[in-house]
Amino acid sequence: MKDSIFFTILAGVAVFVTGQFILKLILEPIVSLKESLGELSAFCLRNRAKITNANANANATLEMQLEFKFLGSKLISKRPLGKSCLFGGIHVNSKTF
């Protein structure tokens, strides 16, 4: 009787630890990367007229450049760490990030 209770508790703890491991090390980085991609996409869509029409307003262009650099650096900081990652990496011009 005592052994079955012990093994039940041990199995519950093992399931919880495994679930947290999967959540923290696999799912949360993927969600964070997708959020960064969404922010970058929203920036490009919000400023598509200025980008495609080559608006040369110096102040607006500088602000856009700074925001684009910020979003790009945020995306690079959340990239997967090579091909050993589950979702393989982001492929741009035959380079894997």
Residue 10 has a pLDDT of 94
Query: 59: how many CB neighbours lie within 10 A of its CB?
Result: 7
Please give the Cα distance from 77 to 54 (Å, whole number): 29
Residue 84 has a pLDDT of 46
Cα separation values, 69 from 20, 31, 41, Å: 33, 21, 13
Tallying the residues shown for the chain, one arrives at 97
Q: What is the pLDDT along the chain (97 residues), one digit of tens a residue?
A: 778 999 999 999 999 999 999 999 888 888 999 999 999 999 999 988 888 887 667 777 888 889 999 999 998 888 776 544 445 555 555 555 4
pTM of this prediction? 0.65
Cα separation values, 92 from 2, 5, 50, 95, Å: 58, 53, 24, 5
